[in-house]
Amino acid sequence: MTSYFPEHGDHRYGVTHYDLTLSYRVQANRLDGTARLTVSAAEPLSALDLDLGKFRVSGVTVDGGAARYSYGRGKLRVSLPRSLPAGARAGVEVRYSGSPVPVPSPWGGLGWEELTDGALVAGQPIGAPSWFPCNDRPDDKASYRISVTTASPYHVIANGVLVGKRRAGANTTWIYDQTEPMASYLASVQIGRYQLSDVAGTRLAYPARLATRVRRDFGRQGEMMELFTDLFGPYPFTGYTVVVADDDLDIPVEAQGMSIFGRNHVDGMRGFERLIAHELAHQWFGNSLTVACWRDIWLQEGFAAYAEWLWSEASGGPPAGAHAQRWHQRLALLPQDFVLADPGAAMLFDDRVYKRGALTLHALRRALGDEVFFRVLLAWTTERRHGSVTTQEFAGHVQRHTSRPAGPLLSSWLYGKPLPPMDPPPRL
């Protein structure tokens, strides 16, 4: 199966742990880093490729000894001092520095971005190499330790739990542990002059002047968490942080245990509440259950879009069926040339991935009935917790919960180009 991004990732090995020690100067946009990776060979291995953006590499070691390497065009090729047999592990350390720049893509720059006064990371799908050397494939999930030193007026937020904070002179070092396995594109660092507060168990970080709006707009997030916990199972990570950057962003961004919004997404009137629900749902669909390959992105975006409709239904807004009817009418007016389960790299974030994905789930809900449908969702998130998933696996999962063939219904929505009608599907 051809990868959408064949230039990213190396399937000959996996990474079990990243230890990132970073120092960042905000005004200069200067990043100095040491990355220590624990790699595990999937096959006999004499060299490995790491994805890394535009930096100066000052040295590489393997198990403490100097290693030969070459670096160019986004690839750091490391020669191992001795061949690793399949299943064996090695420690690879990379020292690097420079001014991080986003990775070019059809959707603009991805990864580390300078803000007016700070920085953020928006890594999906291939932005991780903009700030650390990695095996940049969504199915290679690892634990992380992220240490960031920067000027003390700035607050640093990264994935996982804050386990250390120490000030030395004008700088402060922040250390986070992310113990649950995480894909490289979900690794994130946010740096800004943030005020912190806790609302219904969620940590909020935001510019102080937006405090009233933020607390109002995110005021029902605790209720969302309760709903999604009932429907999708226990929240899959240790905590959840929402960052509101003091810049406008095109769209909110999910990271593991974290969501990032722009100041333009906060209006004090809950005008963007559907996006709050969408990003929270990604903690289950995308971050805990991560696609094994990008062609299956509907398993993340379609599920998060349907969670918007479920929140609307539960919170006094239009029911999911009304949203489905409206979006079916809209999608029916578009060219019928789209395959949901294989949209192509250029269409990865097309609106049809989101809305046809949600419609697929609604059609499945109507066919199974609510009791079985929500049992299917809960079993899916429970059985695949912190794992990698594919469309084929989801179809097999659905089939195990019904005695009738589910294939024809799913195939029409997932693999057929024409948009299936909204007529009631046959009961499964």
User: How many domains is the chain partitioned into structurally?
Assistant: 2
Identify whether 223 is part of a domain: no
Regarding whether 305 and 170 lie in a shared domain, the answer is: no
Look up residue 138 and give its DSSP letter.
Answer: T
Identify whether 267 is part of a domain: no
Identify whether 396 is part of a domain: yes
User: CB under 8 Å to 116, separation ≥6 — which residues?
Assistant: 246, 247
Identify whether 275 is part of a domain: no
Identify whether 351 is part of a domain: yes
Q: What is the pLDDT of residues 232-241, one digit of tens each?
A: 999 999 999 9
Identify whether 401 is part of a domain: yes
Q: What is the pLDDT of residues 10-39, one digit of tens each?
A: 999 999 999 999 999 999 999 999 999 999
Identify whether 255 is part of a domain: no
**pTM of the full predicted structure?**
0.97
Is 282 annotated to bind a ligand? Reply is yes
Q: What is the pLDDT of residues 233-274, one digit of tens each?
A: 999 999 999 999 999 999 999 999 999 999 999 999 999 999
Is 223 annotated to bind a ligand? Reply is no
* CATH code (residue 93): 2.60.40.1730
Final residue in a domain of this structure, among 164, 188, 212: 188
- CA–CA separation, 77 and 62 (whole Å): 12
Regarding whether 298 and 181 lie in a shared domain, the answer is: no
Q: What is the pLDDT of residues 281-333, one digit of tens each?
A: 999 999 999 999 999 999 999 999 999 999 999 999 999 999 999 999 999 99
**Beta-strand (E) ranges in 152-227?**
155-158, 161-168, 171-182, 189-192, 195-199, 202-206
Catalytically active residues are 279, 354
Regarding whether 298 and 171 lie in a shared domain, the answer is: no
* CATH code (residue 316): 1.10.390.10
Final residue in a domain of this structure, among 167, 188, 209: 188
| Of the candidates 91, 84, 18, 78, the residue with the CA atom closest to the CA atom of residue 49 | 78
- Would you state the pLDDT for residue 1? 58
Final residue in a domain of this structure, among 188, 203, 232: 188
Mean pLDDT, contiguous 10-residue spans, the chain (428 residues): 90 98 98 98 98 98 97 96 96 98 94 98 98 98 98 98 97 98 98 94 95 96 97 97 97 97 97 97 98 98 98 98 98 96 96 98 97 98 98 98 94 97 84
- CA–CA separation, 256 and 100 (whole Å): 21
Regarding whether 176 and 315 lie in a shared domain, the answer is: no
Is 254 annotated to bind a ligand? Reply is no
| Of the candidates 252, 277, 15, the residue with the CA atom closest to the CA atom of residue 128 | 15
Domain that residue 400 falls in: 290-414
Identify whether 378 is part of a domain: yes
